[in-house]
Each structure stands twice: as C-alpha cells, then as structure tokens.
Structure 1
Amino acid sequence: MDVTGTLTAIGTALSVVKQLTEIDAHFDKADLKLKVAEITSALAQAKLGLVDAEEVIRAKDSEIKKLWDQLKYKAENTTRLDSMLYDTEDGQPVGRPYCPVCEEKGSLIKIIQDLVGPGRLFNCPKCKSNFGHVSVWQSKNGNY
C-alpha cells in the first residue's frame, strides 16, 4: 500500500470514530459492532501501509547512502582526463578508465581490452559500449 492509501485508511478510521461519537441512545449493538469492525479494518490497512512505507524509506535510504559513497569515492580517488574517469595515484591517472556510459547510470565499471578482436579495442563488459583506443596509465609500482 502506498502513502496515499495509508492516509485514506487512516481518514476512514477517523470518520468512523467520528460517527461513533455521534451515536445516539437508539443505536443497537449490531450497528456498534459493525462500526468497530470498520475501524479495526481501516486501522489494520493503515498499519500495513505504514510497514510498506517504512520498507520503501529504508530502500531509498540505502540507495542514497550508496550514491553518497560513490560520490565520495569519485571525489577522493579519481580524476578525469580526456572525458574519461580514472583512478588516481598521487593525483595522477592510473590504470584503465571507467565506462562513461555506465558511470552516467550510476555504476563504476572499468573498461576492458578485447584481445581477440581486430585492433584490440576497449569495450565495457557491462553495457558493451566500444571506446576504440584509450590511454592506459601505468602506476608507480608498474601495474595498470
């Protein structure tokens, strides 16, 4: 149940409670039991809706944390050179770049070199984008 449905269920329960407060002496037990059942049902729906809303909020909080972590990582550990994002070592680009297509979609995926295809071009293993020839920077310890 979404937030709107939850608010509707709470509103229904409140309107039934209002009807109960306007009860007169001639109201019989069957009508009273019916109104209490309506309140119980509406409040149960509201409770389920709030549980669903809590799950949605937790999922969104988790996604926000993941995005903040990515932003922090990118700010502290990467540099951009010729429109490609690289890891850094002492402020200099190191290794293979990240796929800019996947980066735009929120993923940091390093591109790979196709060793069997003609020209040994670089491709993204996830989105399959082809980047042709790109610069690969060697680190101080000799790794790529």
Structure 2
Amino acid sequence: MIEQVKKYYNGKLTLINNIQGEYEQEEISIKEKRLMNTSQFGDEPYDSIDEEEFAVLEDINTLKNLMAFAEINSFKEILLVDMTENERYEVTQRIINNLDKFHVKPVGYEIKKDSIVIAWYLNSVINTFTFSDQSTALND
C-alpha cells in the first residue's frame, strides 16, 4: 500500500492509520476480474446518445488505485503562511490530530510551510460507471 500511495504522490507524505495491512495485490486482481465479469462492455446497442458516449469508458471497465488529495491552507480565515511559527505548529497539530474524524480516513499527510496536503486511498479497483456516477457528489 505504501508503494502505491507514494507512486502517485512525490512529496514527503507521512502515512497514517496503519494502512500497510489493508492492501493485497492478489485481492485486487480478484476484485477486478469480478467487476469485469459483472459489468457490461460498450459493444451493446444504445437507446440514447448519452449511453453511446459512455461506451468508451465502459470498454475500460475498471479503474485502479483511486486516490484523492486535498490542500488546507488556512484555519479560521487566517492563511497558514501568515501565522507565526508557534501558531502554525499548534494549528497543524490540531488538524493532524483530527484527521480521523473524516468518514473516509486519510492515508497520509504532508506539512508544508503554506499548507497541509491530505491524501486518501479511496478504492483499489472501481468500475468506471460507479466512479463516474459517485464522483458527481464531489461537486457539492
């Protein structure tokens, strides 16, 4: 898991939440095969233009190693870069100590001078349609 996360982020990510044991390559292969067997490929006739446009993505069928990154650069309307070193340290520690409050637990973070980068490993394998459908929730 650590290798997968660092493959997509080149910074100095501090890993959290004991993620090492949660990732098995063999399980990913099994999950990918199951998704490919249960999901249709895009060679079917379509009823609408929208379905036809999605056909190429259905031919991809699965996406692997879905990750998300976020950057925090302020706290209570004050930029981290504008804080004193002591203020920034206290705020940073408060944020890091509360990362486990997210419903989806982050796998790591990096503390920079002007921000904190947070990383989530969301899914080892996901169907393209499921990803496309669920990612619209991120627009809120």
Specify the structure having the higher radius of gyration (Cα).
1
TM-score range, shorter chain: under 0.3
In proportion to residue count, which structure has more strand? 2
Query: RCO greater where, 1 or 2, for CA within 8 Å and sep 6 or more?
Result: 2
TM-score norm. by structure 1 comes to 0.20
In proportion to residue count, which structure has more helix? 1
